[in-house]
Structure 1
Amino acid sequence: MDKQIDPQIDPQTEIELQAAAFRRLQKHLMEDRTDVQNIDMMNLTGFCRNCLSRWYQEAANERGIEMDKAQAREIYYGMTMDEWKTNYQTEASPEKQAEFQTAFKENVTDKT
C-alpha cells in the first residue's frame, strides 16, 4: 500500500499521519488495553503485538538497520518480552492455543 491515499495531502504529511496512527495504536495496545491478550488478537485479527514489532524490525532491516526480534520487541513493548509476560500475559486455554496454531499458520508462517 505505497500509493498516496489522498491527493490533497502531500507525501511527507501522509507519512507523518501514518506514523502518528501507528504510535496511537501502539499506545492503545501497550497502555490502554494491556488486558487484551496477544493470542486473542491473533485469533481474531491475524496479527498481534509481536507481529507489529516484527514489522518494525523488518522495516528497520530493509533500511540497513541491524535489529533482531528481541530488540524490536523491546522497542515496541517498551520492556523486555519477559517483563511483558510477567506483568500482563495470562494462561491461554487449550482451545485458544489450538485456534492460535491455525491463525499463526494462516497469517505468519511463510507460505513460499
Structure 2
Amino acid sequence: MQHLDDATRTQLEAAAFRRLLRHLDANKDVQNIDLMILADFCRNCLSKWLVAAADEQGAELDYETARDYVYGMPYEEWKAKYQRQATPEQLAAFEERQARKRESSS
C-alpha cells in the first residue's frame, strides 16, 4: 500500500474499519472474551483506539460515545441483549493468554 497517496490509504483504512464494525455487528454471538482470547482485542479496545486517535488529531471523543459507535447501540443495551457470562473455560483461556503475554514481555 506504499504506492498509495495518504488520502487514498486513509480512505481505504476507514472503509476497512467500517466493514470490520459491520462484521462484528452481524456476528453478535462472538463474545468480547473470545476476541480477547484469540486476537487480544475486543469491541471495547476498538472504542479506546478511536478515543486515542481522536486525541492524536485534537478532536473530542469520549469513551461512551465511541463505544456506542462501535457497538451500534448504547453499550449497556448491547450488553443486556448479547453479552453472555464468560464460562470457566473462557476465563481460563483468557488468563493463560495474559500469562503468555507477561512471559514474552519479560
Alignment TM-score, normalising by the size of structure 2: 0.82
What secondary structure is seen at the aligned counterpart in 1 of 2:37?
helix
Q: Which amino acid is 2:30 matched to? A: V
> Hey, what does 2:2 align to over in structure 1?
6
1:16 to 11, 14, 17: 11
Tell me the CA shift for residue 101 of structure 1. 4.0
Conserved? CA contact 1:42–1:104, under 8 Å: no
Q: Within 5 Å, which residues of 2 pair with 1:71-82?
A: 71-82=65-76
**Does structure 1 residue 86 correspond to structure 2 residue 57?**
no
| 1:17-73 per-position Cα deviation (integer Å, ceiling 9, x unaligned) | 11111100010001x211111100100111111111111111011122232322210
| 1:61-95 per-position Cα deviation (integer Å, ceiling 9, x unaligned) | 11222323222101221211111111111111123
**Does structure 1 residue 34 correspond to structure 2 residue 28?**
yes
- Paired residue total: 102
**Does structure 1 residue 97 correspond to structure 2 residue 84?**
no
C-alpha distance in structure 1 between counterparts of 2:10 and 2:60, whole Å = 22
> Hey, what does 1:25 align to over in structure 2?
20
Q: Assess, with a 3 A threshold, how the Cα gap between structure 1 residues 103 and 63 changes in structure 2: closer, same or farther.
A: farther
Tell me the CA shift for residue 102 of structure 1. 4.9
**Does structure 1 residue 65 correspond to structure 2 residue 59?**
yes
Structure with the higher helix share, 1 or 2 = 2
- Percent identity (aligned): 48
